[in-house]
Amino acid sequence: MKTTYGLILSAFALIISFSSCSSDPLDLVTTVTEGDFTIALPSPPTTNGQMNLTAQFTTQNIFKGKSSKVLGYQSGSILGPTIVVNTGDVMSVNLQNNLTEPTNIHWHGLIVPANMDGHPEDVVQPGASFDYKFKVIQRGGLYWYHPHPDGYTAKQAFMGLAGAVIVRDAEEEKLNLPSGEFEVPLVIQDKRINTDYSLDYTPTMNDVMTGYMGQYITVNGVHAPYKGVKTTTYRFRVLNGSNSRIYNLGFSNGASFKVIGSDGGLLETAEAVSTLLLAPGERADILMDFSSYNIGTELFLMNNSFTGTSTQGKQKFNILKFVVETKITTNFVTPLALSTLDKIAANSASKTRTFRISEMSMSGMSNMGNMGGMTMTGMHQINNKVYDKNRIDEVVAAGSTEIWVFDNSTGAEPHPMHVHGVQFQVLDRTGGRGGLIASEKGWKDTILLLPGEKVRVIMTFNNNKGLFVLHCHNLEHEDDGMMLQFEVQ
Ligand code: C2O
Ligand code: CU
Ligand code: CU
């Protein structure tokens, strides 16, 4: 039985009124609690592309002086190391699974052979290990890695299994962008905790509906950190590694900053903005100039409120405090031209496929099962289908160019749609916000659709043959079945 979102919401309201006395249970778990911004911002250690990762139970101080039980890829750390490689390098990563359930690694945004992509069924059993080995054919950019086992992705990512991959290339090198201490990865995530500070991943049906949100915003694994800065331009490599929270990033003094790159590397030209919407899975490469600030100035990287969806965006909150500490003189000027993008012409596409992502199913609610600790309901669908490992939904010719249309025109929820195995260009957005924002004008692998929006993307598939997935990167939606398979033949 198919039904409208309104009906489903009333069904939820009913369930909620039975299970809770609170007037607005949605807001209780989505309202952010700021901290005091007294922990120095850490940066995960960097490694080259040759190393071992061990998925394990461990602890980290996410909150000042409090040890939280988390999952990590290394002992004592919620996030894995930042892997820094050059285009053309061979990455060779051994994953040891010391969890009590299957896991694997998906290299989000990297174009790798199907058997290295961390397909949801291609998992490493507890106690076992797997060698990921592939050549990095990507242009420079910020990519990331996280688990992708069917039904466990959301939980494992939320509990701490994720890390950044920075790919460098000659083109970027020539620009002399801020580097060393002036290039700072910022992995932004929201967390929910138990009374003993351990991370809490216990989604209710409500959470599956909206996506799991936490009231504590962390950056690089710690809550409410601060960073001392010098009076110069910084390059922030921002990853929204949250399960479902969308951020409308900006600075608390309204300062403009420059967007120079997106999911798949540099844009053609920098674009100055004062806010930037970043959905789960998306990355933004931004330049922030602190050169005119007085010593002692404090300002925040913050989330501005935003409209377009009813489940998020109501609250403004601070994420990371900057304290201007040291006067230095540099003469960095943002280059006028950053890169050239070979635009894929719409008429070079041999096929157009449409993915309707507005549909909700009520029937799923009657056959709720438990997958990886979350409530699997099958409410979120693509083209009226929930993920089925035994069904190949689309067959794509290797090397072909296609237009994919993500259609949320009658939808009531935001969905950041992600495709494995390719980088795409966004042709247009109709409905909702209409145009493209700064970070959508380059190569992308994840694109946000707010309710009412339809987006066309164009991409040329690689010659990596085999099975890949496309899915909503709201990880609760994804584990709920909002994922399809496609085979490159
Ligand atoms: Cu970042 Cu299929 O995921
Ligand atoms: Cu991916
Ligand atoms: Cu979704």
Q: Which atom of ligand 1 is nearest to the CA of 146?
A: 1
DSSP result, 415-433: EEEEETT--BEEEEEESTT
Which tokens is 302 given? 């913050």
Residue 443 lies in a domain: yes
CATH number, position 299: 2.60.40.420
**DSSP secondary structure code for residue 304 in this structure:** P
pLDDT in tens, 373-408: 455 677 899 999 999 999 999 999 999 999 999 999
Task: Answer yes or no: are the C-beta atoms of 488 and 454 closer than 8 Å.
Answer: no
Q: Which helix (H) or strand (E) holds 153?
A: helix 153-159
How many whole angstroms from 327 Cα to the centroid of ligand 1?
A: 41
Into how many domains does the chain fold?
3
Cβ of 148 less than 6 Å from ligand 1: yes
Angle at CA of residue 216, ends 102 and 166, nearest 5°: 60
pLDDT in tens, 169-217: 999 999 999 999 999 999 999 999 999 999 999 999 889 999 999 999 9
Task: Please give the residue range of the domain that contains residue 115.
Answer: 39-173
186 and 308 fall within a common domain: yes
Q: Say which ligand is closest to the CA of 414.
A: 3
With the C-alpha atoms ordered 361, 358, 488, 110, is the resulting torsion angle positive or negative?
negative
Question: In this structure, which amino acid lies at residue 459?
Answer: M
pLDDT(342) > 90: yes
Residue that the structure tokens 């949320």 belong to = 408
The total of other beta-carbon atoms located within 10 Å of residue 319's CB is 23
pLDDT in tens, 443-466: 999 999 999 999 999 999 999 999
Last residue of a domain, which of 143, 173, 203?
173
What is the Cα–Cα distance from 281 to 263, expressed in whole angstroms?
Answer: 9
Cβ of 444 less than 6 Å from ligand 1: no
Beta bridge partners of 321: 226, 300
pLDDT(318) > 60: yes
CA distances in angstroms from 135 to 138, 440, 475, listed in the order given: 9, 26, 27
**If pLDDT is split at 50, 70 and 90, which confidence band does 28 have?**
low
pLDDT(471) > 80: yes
253 and 390 fall within a common domain: no
369 and 435 fall within a common domain: yes
Residue 298 lies in a domain: yes
Task: Answer yes or no: are the C-beta atoms of 275 and 250 closer than 8 Å.
Answer: yes
Task: Answer yes or no: are the C-beta atoms of 233 and 270 closer than 8 Å.
Answer: no
Residue 7 lies in a domain: no
Question: For the ranges 16-25, 217-226, 250-259, 480-489, which has the lowest average pLDDT?
Answer: 16-25
188 and 107 fall within a common domain: no
247 and 302 fall within a common domain: yes
Question: In this structure, which amino acid lies at residue 326?
Answer: T
Residue 388 lies in a domain: yes
322 and 369 fall within a common domain: no
For residue 3, the number of C-alpha atoms closer than 13 Å in the C-beta half-sphere is 14
Cβ of 477 less than 6 Å from ligand 1: no
Residue 110 lies in a domain: yes
Cβ of 380 less than 6 Å from ligand 1: no
312 and 431 fall within a common domain: no
Residue 140 lies in a domain: yes
**DSSP secondary structure code for residue 280 in this structure:** T
Residue 385 lies in a domain: yes
Residue 23 lies in a domain: no
**If pLDDT is split at 50, 70 and 90, which confidence band does 473 have?**
very high
